[in-house]
Structure 1
Amino acid sequence: MTRRKLTSDEIELWRKVAKQAERLHPEIPQTVHPTTLPKPTPKKLPKPRIETFEVGQNQPSKPSTNRLKPSITETLRAAPVQMDTKAFGRMKRGKLKPEGKLDLHGMRIDTAHPALVRFVLTAQAQGKRLVLVITGKGKDRDEPGPIPTPRGVLRNQVPHWLSIPPLAQAVMQVTPAHISHGGDGAYYVYLRRVR
């Protein structure tokens, strides 16, 4: 949008107004006509170079690895140790003998959860410290499908059940069992003392 030129009447009106107006800062010298800056000359930009493009040229050479959720066994092994470190090491090596055992093989979730709650709370009331909960490794799915499904429903649910009320107050440590006690198909549950 271009500015329009002032007419001679408008210029004369402006001069009358300017003579009658008081200066805001009289100590600053007044110039008759402000100097105008010269119009800038446009700089010529270099012509863009057209590059050839190949499909996949920006793709990284090594594909990134998928960051899948770690398995329940890896999560439990990485959990901080809550119990005595020496006893924990002996328990992981299978040197501590469990004082009680619950086998959940063949049970469904609706029967396994109450059985686990009953077993753990009873064992704690009896003063037992280490119990073994056998879940089994679970069956492989017939059809893998697009969504990865963890193997073994009880194997994945039991650690969760042990970490929520009413069992959370009774359980001190959960870790996968030694191979002599069932390996990845069983869990050592170390209980707190009743006070």
Structure 2
Amino acid sequence: MARRRLSSEEEALWSALARTVRPIRPSARPVAGLTNAPLPIEPPIKTRLTPPPVRTPKPPPVAPPARTPAAVLDTGWERRIRSGSISPDTSIDLHGHTLSAAHARLNQSIAAALSRDARVLLVVTGKPPKSAASEGKGRRGAIRGEIGHWLETSPYADRIASVRVAHPRHGGDGALYLILRRKK
């Protein structure tokens, strides 16, 4: 890459700057072409006496608060879940999948259930390993550990009314009911 020559104005500015620099090692050789002539004093630049107008940023549009799954459903739903008389409209089995595959499949299934106006989605996550359950450590499987976060950050989070542990006839601790909201 060819270097360009400095103009006379740029050379004067560079010389003025170089004279203000102190060498790290005093024994360093001086830069050729530099003189110790006094710096020319330039007249001050005129500035505005009035400050520029202050712009206040527009506040971001206020989004309605995101709806979160309910801790308690109405008594009809609660009774049906406890008694096991609830029947899932659709189900998905995630155990045996990798975390990324299970996450993608969960989102696809929720989208499909919503498009069919389903109200109850049964999500089978699998039970924790028997060794962990028998030792009393309370360990959960990897998918079961992540599913709460996946549902909170899902693009369909506002369409989920509640998440409940399934009745033993539908998998008990190894499955969840996703109760979906009706269309708006």
What TM-score do you get using the length of structure 2 for normalisation?
Answer: 0.55
Name the structure 2 match of 1:110: 100
Q: What CA distance in whole angstroms lies between the structure 2 residues aligned with 1:188 and 1:113?
A: 16
CA spacing shift, 1:149–1:134, aligned 2, 3 Å: same
**What do the CA deviations read for 1:2-57 (whole angstroms, capped 9, x no partner)?**
xxxxxxxxxxxxxxxxxxxxxxxxxxxxxxxxxxxxxxxxxxxxxxxxxxxxxxxx
Residue of structure 2 equivalent to 1:101: 91
Give the direction of change, closer, same or farther, for the CA distance of 1:109–1:95 in structure 2 (3 Å limit): same
Q: Deviations over 1:102-143 (max 9, x none)?
A: 00120010100010001012101210001100000132578x
Summarize the Cα distance change of 1:86–1:149 in structure 2 as closer, same or farther, 3 Å threshold.
Answer: closer
Is it true that 1:157 corresponds to 2:146 in the alignment?
Answer: yes
Decide whether aligned partners of structure 1 residues 121 and 153 sit closer, same or farther in structure 2, where only a CA change above 3 A counts: same
| Structure 2 spans left out of the alignment, 5+ residues | 1-69
Identity of aligned residues (%): 38
Q: Distance in 2 between matches of 1:91 and 1:156?
A: 22
Contact 1:163 1:171 in 2 (8 A): no
1:135 is matched with which residue: 125, 141, 146? 125
Q: Which has the larger radius of gyration?
A: 1
Shift of 1:149: 8.1
Matched letter for residue 104 of structure 1: L
- For 2:176, the equivalent position in structure 1 comes to 187
1:178 aligns with 2:167: yes
Any idea what the Cα deviations from partners look like across 1:65-108, whole Å, max 9, x if unmatched?
xxxxxxxxxxxxxx721x33212221232111001000012001
